[in-house]
Amino acid sequence: MSPRLGIYVQVPFCQTKCTYCNFHTGVVSSARFSPYVEAVCREIRGHRELYRAARVGLPEGFAKAVVDTVYIGGGTPSLLEPGLLLGMMEAIRETFRTELSEVTLEADPETVEVGKAAAWVRAGINRVSFGLQSFSDKELAAAGRMHRRADIYRAVPILREAGIRNISFDLIAGLPYQTETSWKESLEELGRLEPEHVSVYLLEVDEGSRLGKELLAGGERYSAGAVPGDDEMADFYETASAFLGAAGYHHYEISNWAKPGFRSRHNLKYWRREAYLGFGAGAHSFSGAERWANAHDAAEYVGGMEAGRIPVEQWEEVTRERALEEELFLGLRQLDGIDVARIEREYGVALGARIGPLQSAGLVERDGNLLRLAPGKVSISNEVFVELMR
């Protein structure tokens, strides 16, 4: 069978900046959308020559690879005119051998319209991932989101009517004003809309977002004083896990749950260390031997592409030691666990010294050759990973 390849396309534009957002996205005039998409299409079509000039090597097998998943993320790619999305999909189909089984578009509920949804389906999009975060208008407003609860209830039937059979919802545990009651209400409303896939993220507190900075500084702006504590967030996560399990969702990755047959095929490539190419500003790629990322700044990216060169901002050769760390780190994110025997065989290592202390501390459990996070330790996975990488 020909090797499989995933393609990620980054669209770094949003209508406003959410207070908790730590992504490299910007609020720009819609006049900049079309030149950006042109640059992305140029990168897709010319990627082999562009990589060669930037000294990024593609393994031999890539020429025969078949693209089976596409993920158009951001930012808010659903802001783009459907014609621009179609143009990117055409560039992919004309450049690569494709057998597309999963084509995801990230969307915000307020951007969904009947005409757009029909055009998305015509472009080949068959999965929509909604950044809905909460069903509480108070929490959405405090987080700086554009949509409200009513937009979610308006958008989902439009997508279903257009023929989208695979919808994913994102929720964030830890938004300002979130309480145990409001969190349970969001979960119940989610259950009523029956998405095929659900992602639950904990609020990230870091210097990369306005809210994160304010929390670290102990300030009150952006409703920082109303952010739930770490223990509450961990409880929200456990509540979600129990709720989703009872509702028929399979917990397959730390932050992800799916109805049978609806695991995200594209995102599984990241966790399984399978190859993917990323196009657009800040997009990351992995060839199996190298990882690299384009310049985050959209203007710098477009300028580079107009000048006929790809602005690669980060590049890393994946050494054997690094690959082993990735196997453990990414493998343990998956609830099925990792095959210790395979890793020991492929990397010629004995993992006992790394795993033993974690097992004794009750952080991981072993089932034959399979190693996985222990039940109840999934929400503290970062601490497990820190121990593992020591």
Contact window for ligand SF4 (CB under 6 A) among 19-27, 192-200, 316-324, 342-350: 19-27
C-alpha dihedral over 19, 227, 202, 365, to 10 degrees? 160
Question: What's the full length of the chain, in residues?
Answer: 390
Question: Smallest distance, Å, CB 130 to ligand SF4?
Answer: 11
Question: Residue for token digits 């494709």?
Answer: 98
Q: Check residue 104 for interaction with ligand SF4 (CB under 6 A).
A: no
Question: Smallest distance, Å, CB 108 to ligand SF4?
Answer: 6
Q: How many CA within 13 A on the CB side of residue 145?
A: 28
Closer to ligand SF4 by CB, 209 or 379: give it: 209
Q: Check residue 21 for interaction with ligand SF4 (CB under 6 A).
A: yes
Residues 116-145: x/- map of binding to ligand SF4 (CB under 6 A)?
Answer: ---------------x--------------
Question: Smallest distance, Å, CB 182 to ligand SF4?
Answer: 19
Contacts of 251 (CB under 8 A, 6+ apart): 241, 244, 245, 257, 335, 378
Kindly give the residue spans of alpha helices, DSSP state H, lying in the chain.
33-45, 47-53, 82-95, 114-122, 137-142, 149-162, 180-193, 210-217, 230-246, 265-271, 298-306, 320-333, 340-347, 352-360, 381-389
Judged by CB under 6 A, the residue of 7, 11, 14, 85 near ligand SF4 is 14
Judged by CB under 6 A, the residue of 5, 18, 107, 159 near ligand SF4 is 18
Select the residue whose beta carbon is closest to ligand SF4 and give its number: 21
Question: Smallest distance, Å, CB 144 to ligand SF4?
Answer: 7
Contact window for ligand SF4 (CB under 6 A) among 10-18, 280-288, 343-351, 364-372: 10-18
Contact window for ligand SF4 (CB under 6 A) among 11-19, 42-50, 93-101, 260-268: 11-19
Residues 58-77: x/- map of binding to ligand SF4 (CB under 6 A)?
Answer: ----------------xxx-
Chain-centroid distance, C-alpha 353:
32
State the DSSP code for 209: S
Nearest to 239 by CA among 167, 191, 169: 191
Judged by CB under 6 A, the residue of 3, 23, 95, 154 near ligand SF4 is 23
Judged by CB under 6 A, the residue of 5, 7, 11, 25 near ligand SF4 is 25
Q: In this structure, which long-range contacts are made by residues 116-120, counting pairs with CB atoms below 8 Å and at least 24 apart in sequence?
A: 116/78, 116/82, 117/158, 117/159, 117/161, 117/162, 117/164, 118/162, 119/82, 119/83, 119/85, 119/86, 120/82, 120/85, 120/162, 120/164
Q: Number of residues interacting with ligand SF4: please give it, by CB under 6 A.
A: 11
Binding site for ligand SF4 (CB under 6 A): 14, 17-18, 21, 23, 25, 74-76, 108, 131
